Structure 1
């Protein structure tokens, strides 16, 4: 099956490319026949250049060279049948040959650039998989969907980031946005996500986790500044920072803890209503190393069964329509409060791209989280054990009420 599929994949572009090859070949035949049959004062031979000119749009250098050679042969046939190789015919043949060679040359250059672009794209995709790992669809009682929309057409990753990990009997998530673009922002994002994945397991509280992330970013920026001139070092420390939103979602407790470091507030979808969860004690972004930070503060909110959280970066709410208006995220989300995470995310993606006319001005990342009572770890464990015939408590002791009784006469 694998070999058959590969052959089918190869056959499809070959078949479409060779079907289009009939167009320049038909042009060569038609122009040659008409020129030979036309009166002597009508010369259509120069139109043969159209055939090799259109071939690179669907074929490579080899087919372009073939069509160019056929066009030169056709021009030679026309000259032989129209009274011999006059000076005019000789110039037409030479010009057609030179143009065909130039087309083949530029076609080869284009193919080389396409191969380089393919390699760059593959590296970009590999970088995305390593740095910005896809979030799992399920973590404990949570259903999760994530999306990354890059502003650059050929980019797969930029300065926006998100990550999630299990920590004890709960899930910790982070979403952030690095100031700036390019390789520097990717480097800062990778440092923060690496620090989060490592520290989320070790930190007992969200406050401790925030301190660890701040120290990691400041240390990273200081190391970067050491490689620049002293006049540029202060500029680097002042201009590099990361807005971040960090959440700690317990499995059994509906109270969620959140610390917001200069990031857009999340949206809570509860029973058909959309609420913006503003932070009562907003914190400066991570990486503002020269500012005195008194410590991280926490905000708590209720996240019940069937509730949905929408986390996003400023590339979503700062997206502009052609008339300059900003994307009304909360207003649009209110239309799809009954959707699951994947469906909600798809609605927002499609609507956002349609709103801006298909091109974003900044990277945009979104994470949708829904607490599902069907995915409660304790409920799942009890269901599995009950199917096996005996229900146990979490401490391993048999549940007397769930122990199956013997049928009469089978004791």
Structure 2
């Protein structure tokens, strides 16, 4: 068992227990939001800038150079943002300027003038089609997001705020852009034998990882209510996962059971939990030897050795996935979770987790590269 002493600068962390942990799973910093807004402003102004630039260049160079058809560049960039009305308005502006420049250059009745007008009209029509297709794709994406949110509610249900003498809060951040769920999993079950908890990390990402997470959570929810002890829950979980997982898929997981002011752990190749005492000291309880992850029992003995620790009023227990501790900054340094335990001084568990989440994102300096989950249990 690793010990970090009683320095108040060492403490653990966690986040929220709303239907979407950590709110809407934000994964970007304020700087990234500003950058996105700046990019949108540039794309919005680009059609007008192109039209103005071509107009100035044509007036300055005269009719000999033949820049008039380039006015159609404005309507060409219009479909990038906005709707069909905006695209049509930009096309109309380009058409008026093309006609005016044609008169100015004295080519309005020549082939060059007709070609320039036809170019603007054609590009504007193509832009309107592009806007329609873009809006259709956006609607399809909204439908996919709605389905993902429904899957979130089914797969990763909100943890109970109160479970016996425990206060629970959770934070989940998906590494997949615009995703609500991923390969990390968590659950809290208030069983007659005690409060039973699981936090796990599925190998891989995407839909395959979500499917595997559903298998593990379904097996745990059933076993946690039926089995007399935590070892029985673990054995049943191993059997269920072995039956349903194929190939080299596996899941690292840690199971915990809290009762009678004691916490019992089963560790299947998962990062050690972080236990913060009421006096401010921090330990990472570890077994004598780790069991193989779930799904790999065919490669050797997979039954872990239960290990225990005191868990008394005022103590806090943080279970997390390696997406937290292996998050790197721009210099390749891992997130020092054990040095951030002072962030848990907040009286409210959700506020404490939010502070850790913000600090983690500041450390990474951008979107998360791996799914990350944190589950905080406080002994009230």
TM range (shorter): 0.7 to 0.9
Give TM-score, length-normalised by structure 2: 0.78
Q: Report what 2:98 is aligned to.
A: 75
Cα distance change, pair 95–139 in 1 and its aligned pair in 2 (3 A): same
Instruction: Report if aligned partners of 1:56, 1:107 keep a CA contact under 8 Å in 2.
Output: yes
1:342 aligns with 2:366: no
1:152 maps to which of 168, 173, 176? 176
Q: Deviations over 1:346-365 (max 9, x none)?
A: 12211111112212221111
For the residues of structure 2 that align with 1:135 and 1:217, how far apart are their CA atoms? 23
Structure 1 range deviating more: 348-357 or 58-67: 58-67
Q: Report what 1:321 is aligned to.
A: 329
User: Within 5 Å, which residues of 2 pair with 1:16-27?
Assistant: none
2:255 maps to which of 227, 246, 261? 246
User: Within 5 Å, which residues of 2 pair with 1:69-108?
Assistant: 69-80=92-103, 83=106, 84-108=108-132
Q: Report what 2:29 is aligned to.
A: none
Cα distance change, pair 24–315 in 1 and its aligned pair in 2 (3 A): closer
For the residues of structure 1 that align with 2:47 and 2:234, how far apart are their CA atoms? 65
For the residues of structure 2 that align with 1:294 and 1:284, how far apart are their CA atoms? 5
Unpaired stretches in structure 2, ≥5 consecutive residues: 1-39
Cα distance change, pair 64–330 in 1 and its aligned pair in 2 (3 A): same
User: Within 5 Å, which residues of 2 pair with 1:220-299?
Assistant: 220-221=244-245, 225=246, 236=247, 239-250=248-259, 253-270=260-277, 271-293=279-301, 295-299=303-307
Cα distance change, pair 215–110 in 1 and its aligned pair in 2 (3 A): same
For the residues of structure 2 that align with 1:130 and 1:111, how far apart are their CA atoms? 29
Unpaired stretches in structure 1, ≥5 consecutive residues: 1-16, 226-235, 373-411
1:56 aligns with 2:79: yes
Q: Deviations over 1:350-383 (max 9, x none)?
A: 11111122122211111111111xxxxxxxxxxx
**Structure 1 residue 107: Cα displacement:** 2.4
RMSD: 3.1
Cα distance change, pair 169–115 in 1 and its aligned pair in 2 (3 A): same
Q: Deviations over 1:13-68 (max 9, x none)?
A: xxxx9xx9999789989998998999888988556435434533441134313431
Q: Report what 1:218 is aligned to.
A: 242
**Structure 1 residue 332: Cα displacement:** 1.8
Structure 1 range deviating more: 176-185 or 288-297: 288-297
**Structure 1 residue 179: Cα displacement:** 1.3
Q: Secondary structure at the match of 1:183?
A: helix
Number of residue pairs aligned between Structure 1 and Structure 2: 336
